[in-house]
Amino acid sequence: MNRSASVPRAAAIGVATFIAGLIVGYPILARSAVRTWGSRADECLRAMPGDDLITDPDVITTRAVTIAAAPETIWPWLVQFGPDRGGIYSYDWIDRLLGVPVHSSMSLLPQFAHISVGDLLSITPGGPKMRVAVVEPARALVFESEDGNWVWSFVLSPIGDSTRLVSRNRITVPSNSIPSRLLYCYLLEPGSLVMEAKMLRGIRDRAEHTVLPAGAEPSPRATEPIVAGISGRTTAGSDGVLPADGHCGGST
């Protein structure tokens, strides 16, 4: 047997086997966990502000983290979120490699202490801007891309002395082509988990060490949402729960 010929053949077989295993195994074994990192089943099913902005998404992710702080303490960190504001709180060096000029602040910046419905944020270079669609102080913040293909919602839910921060992405894949769907499934979904998990932990770590200035008062909790461009809060049924669509079942 010609060993010099068998080595490349064995390598090719190994690569092909790995790719085949990834294609078959990821949707079955890992995709649900990637989409629902840190979240509970009830959080995946629960209706959130912004859900009705995209009623039939191709991709839904619901990820969450527990923060040992009150919603009013976490809220300012969400308000100043953005590459051209207080940062994204994720891996800045990766964002900069991707062309996003970001520096995530470790402190609250007074110039970014306010946010209003209709404000525009630039998240990705050359991509559509994100419009602030919903503002519920100390409760919910929702961004919607100008092209209508992406809704990103943050909800703060107090549990005892802590708070659950839940982040949900609802995305419509612009192209129905197989390559586009494979790109989202096998590259962008896992990649988004790496960056979003770091972001959620970044918000957690900052909020848990937040010391409000002397005399400062936390943002009040809203009793009614401030909403732009949508007719209702959610597309949930009367019980406030969204129909199961296969994106739930994450870790607790």
Going through 58-139 in order, the beta strands assigned E by DSSP cover: 59-67, 120-121, 130-136
Q: Superfamily assignment of 9-227 in CATH?
A: START domain (3.30.530.20)
Model confidence over 66-97: pLDDT tens digits? 999 999 999 999 999 999 899 999 999 988 99
pLDDT of residue 174: 78
Residue with the bigger pLDDT between 31 and 252: it is 31
Predicted confidence at residue 31, as pLDDT, reads 65
The DSSP secondary-structure symbol of 186 reads I
Name the one residue in this structure whose structure tokens are 């609250």: 108
User: For residue 40, what pLDDT is reported?
Assistant: 94
Contact 168, 133 (CB under 8 A): no
Supply the pLDDT for residue 191. 72
| Phi and psi, residue 66, nearest 5° | -95, 135
pLDDT confidence of residue 189: 78
Q: What is the dihedral of CA 116, 120, 121, 126, to 10 degrees?
A: 170
Of the ranges 11-20, 67-76, 177-186, 235-244, which one carries the lowest mean pLDDT score? 235-244
Average pLDDT score over residue span 219-236:
37
Whether the per-residue pLDDT at 198 is higher than 70: the answer is yes
Which pLDDT does position 4 carry in this prediction?
Answer: 53
- Residue 219's pLDDT band, with cuts at 50, 70 and 90, is very low
Q: What is the pLDDT of residues 118-172, one digit of tens each?
A: 999 987 777 789 999 999 999 999 999 999 999 999 999 999 999 999 999 999 8
Which residues are CB-neighbours of 168 under 8 A, at least 6 positions away? 48, 50, 51, 60, 61, 62, 63, 151, 152, 153, 155
More confident residue, 102 or 240: 102
What is the percent of the chain with per-residue pLDDT over 90, rounded to a whole number? Answer: 51
